[in-house]
Amino acid sequence: MSGATEAAAPLGRARTTTLVTGPIRSGKSRHAEDLLRDHSDVTYVATGRQVDPADPEWGRRVETHRARRAESWRTLETTDVAAAIDHATGPLLVDCLGTWLTAVVDDAGWDDLDTASATVRRETDRLVESLCAATAPVVVVTNEVGWSLVATSASGRLFQDELGRLNAFVSRVAAHVHLVVAGRVIDLGDAPLVPWQPRSRTLDA
């Protein structure tokens, strides 16, 4: 890495994040787990909803994911991913940004999209700034926009737009970006470092 690139790093911090992206059911979560296979002190940050007793099929999916992870790994179910990163003392696997974004908009309310968008901007700032400051390895899983089924509505467009921006922002501060398609991993190489600008100061990705 050249001196000019190093000088552009956010606050001069080392980058510890790997972004793993791809379509739904592409194998990206399994690849993310493999990246941390040699670590015994991993915290798996599940950003989705808690297991619903009325949805046994969802519960089986969650248990299948848990069963293939090392017994020494800890599972943390939370939507406050920034706080999980801030307090981490070991490697983290965050799975995934799509479900995190859904939870953020759920909390803000889908009826007022302007308020929801402002909330997403604020929470995106917190998340990316936490990744910039992370000292332990963080592997972040996300769905690639355009390879997911999204409703053709104002709320659907909001979700696609915000997830696309979020993916782009995380890739700017990541050290590596991997694309997983049909179980095949494409290493997109060292991510070019772009100075992080909080969304409170810019709305463009």
Q: Give Cα separations from 5 to 2, 8, 169, 176 (angstroms).
A: 5, 5, 17, 15
Q: Point out which residues pair with 63 in neighbouring strands.
A: none
**Could you report the per-residue pLDDT of 19-64, keeping only the tens digit for each?**
999 998 899 999 999 999 999 999 999 996 666 667 777 667 667 7
- The predicted structure's pLDDT at residue 12: 40
Residues of the chain with pLDDT under 70: 1-14, 48-53, 58-59, 61-62, 147-151, 191-196, 199-205
Q: Where are the domains of the chain?
A: 3-190
- The predicted structure's pLDDT at residue 157: 86
Residue 95 · residue 47 · CB < 8 Å = yes
- The predicted structure's pLDDT at residue 158: 87
- The predicted structure's pLDDT at residue 193: 67
* CA separation for the pair 107, 102 (Å, rounded): 9
Kindly state the percentage of the chain with pLDDT values over 70.
78
Q: Which fold does the domain 3-190 belong to in CATH?
A: Rossmann fold (3.40.50)
Q: What is the dihedral of CA 43, 49, 51, 54, to 10 degrees?
A: 180
Cα Rg of the chain, angstroms: 17
* CA separation for the pair 178, 22 (Å, rounded): 8
Q: Which of 31, 39, 65, 87 is catalytic?
A: 65
- Mean pLDDT across the chain, nearest whole number? 83
39 is catalytic: no
- The predicted structure's pLDDT at residue 48: 67
